[in-house]
Amino acid sequence: MAVNIIIFGQLTDITGEQNLVVSDVNDTDQLVAKLNKMFPAIVGAKFVIAVNKQVVSENTILENNSTIALLPPFSGG
């Protein structure tokens, strides 16, 4: 199973990527663990996860070809 990841804001500076495809993750906890291994500088970074345009706050099961957005804190007014 693979999921599509869209990365925003300063997280693109950390990862050097705006889009990724990640395989072998079944839920958001596994996804975060895999991203932490792929990009050690992301550990401790503040961001929220949206799965198919819905912000999630707890571990969420992922489906094949889900679209995941990594959203850093936004500021402004």
CA dist 61 and 41 (Å) reads: 25
Give the pLDDT band (50/70/90) at residue 9: very high
Q: What is the mean pLDDT of residues 2-25?
A: 96
For residue 1, the model assigns a pLDDT of: 85
CA dist 60 and 28 (Å) reads: 5
Is it the case that residue 77 has pLDDT exceeding 80?
A: no
Query: What tens digit of pLDDT does each residue of 31-50 get?
Result: 999 999 999 999 999 999 99
Please tell me what DSSP assigns to residue 44.
T
Is it the case that residue 67 has pLDDT exceeding 80?
A: yes
Check whether domain 2-71 has CATH 3.40.50.2300, yes or no: no
Phi-psi region of 33 (alpha: psi -120 to 50; beta: other; left: phi over 0): alpha
CA dist 62 and 22 (Å) reads: 12
Q: Give me the residue spans of the domains in the chain.
A: 2-71
Q: How many Cβ atoms from other residues are within 10 Å of residue 76's Cβ?
A: 3
